[in-house]
A and B are shown apart, each in its own frame.
Chain A
Amino acid sequence: MPSTDTVKAPPPDREPAVKKRSTERPGDRIFRGTAVGAATVILVALAGVAIFLTVEGLPGLTAEPDAMSGQASFAGYALRLVYGTLLAAVIALVVATPLSIGMALVISHYAPRRLATPLGYVVDLLAAVPSVVYGLWGILFLGPRMGDLFRWLEENLGFIPLFAGPAAGSGRTIFTAGLVLAIMVLPIITAICREIFAQTPKLHEEAALALGATRWEMVRMAVFPYARSGMVSATMLGLGRALGETMAVAMVLAASGTGFVTLNLISTQNPNTIAANIAREFPEATGTSVNVLIASGLVLFVITFAVNFAARAIVARSGKKMNR
Chain B
Amino acid sequence: MAKSIDVSDLDIYYGDFLAVQGVNMTIRARSVTAFIGPSGCGKSTYLRSLNRMHEVIPGARVEGKIVVDGQDLYGNGVDPVAVRRQIGMVFQRPNPFPTMSIYDNVLAGNRLNAKKMKKSEADTIVERSLKGANLWGEVKDRLGKPGMGLSGGQQQRLCIARAIAVEPEVLLMDEPCSALDPISTSAIEDLIHELKSQYTIVIVTHNMQQAARVSDETGFFNLKGAGQPGHLVEFNPTEKVFANPDNEATEAYISGRFG
Chain A residues within CB distance 8 Å of chain B: 112-113, 201, 203-214, 217, 221-222, 225-226, 228, 321-322, 324
Between-chain CB contacts (< 8 Å), 27 pairs: A205-B56, A206-B56, A206-B91, A207-B91, A207-B95, A207-B97, A208-B108, A209-B84, A210-B51, A210-B84, A210-B89, A210-B163, A211-B109, A211-B112, A211-B162, A212-B81, A212-B84, A212-B109, A212-B166, A213-B84, A213-B112, A214-B81, A221-B108, A221-B112, A226-B98, A321-B99, A322-B99
**Closest B residue by C-beta to A220:** B112
B26 to chain A, nearest CB (A): 23
Q: What is the bound-complex CA distance between A211 and B129, given in angstroms?
A: 14
Q: Which A residues are CB-close (under 8 A) to B148?
A: 324
A222 to chain B, nearest CB (A): 7
User: Across the interface, do A211 and B149 meet the contact criterion of CB distance under 8 Å?
Assistant: no
Chain B residues within CB distance 8 Å of chain A: 51, 53, 56, 58, 81-86, 88-89, 91, 93, 95-100, 108-109, 112-113, 146, 148-149, 159, 162-163, 166
**Closest A residue by C-beta to B55:** A209
Contact of A225 among B86, B97, B109 (CB under 8 A): B97
Q: What is the bound-complex CA distance between A112 and B108, given in angstroms?
A: 28
A322 to chain B, nearest CB (A): 6
Q: Which A residues are CB-close (under 8 A) to B166?
A: 211-212
Query: Could you tell me the dominant secondary structure of chain A's interface residues?
Result: helix
Q: What is the bound-complex CA distance between A217 and B112, given in angstroms?
A: 7
A215 to chain B, nearest CB (A): 9
Q: Which A residues are CB-close (under 8 A) to B159?
A: 207
User: Across the interface, do B58 and A113 meet the contact criterion of CB distance under 8 Å?
Assistant: yes
User: Across the interface, do A212 and B82 meet the contact criterion of CB distance under 8 Å?
Assistant: yes
A148 to chain B, nearest CB (A): 42
Q: Which B residues are CB-close (under 8 A) to A210?
A: 51, 53, 84, 88-89, 91, 163
With known contacts A210-B89, A212-B166, A217-B112, A204–B97 Cβ distance under 8 A = yes
Q: Which B residues are CB-close (under 8 A) to A205?
A: 56
**Closest A residue by C-beta to B146:** A324
> Which 7 pairs show the lowest CB-CB distances between chains A and B?
A212-B85, A211-B109, A210-B89, A225-B99, A212-B84, A207-B95, A203-B95
User: Across the interface, do B98 and A225 meet the contact criterion of CB distance under 8 Å?
Assistant: yes
User: Across the interface, do B91 and A212 meet the contact criterion of CB distance under 8 Å?
Assistant: no
Q: Which A residues are CB-close (under 8 A) to B162?
A: 207, 211
Q: What is the bound-complex CA distance between A38 and B170, given in angstroms?
A: 60
Contact of B53 among A203, A206, A221, A321 (CB under 8 A): A206
B91 to chain A, nearest CB (A): 6
Q: Told that A207-B159, A225-B99 touch, could you supply 14 new A-B pairs with CB distance under 8 A?
A: A201-B95, A203-B93, A203-B95, A204-B95, A204-B97, A205-B56, A206-B91, A207-B95, A209-B53, A211-B84, A212-B82, A212-B85, A221-B112, A322-B99
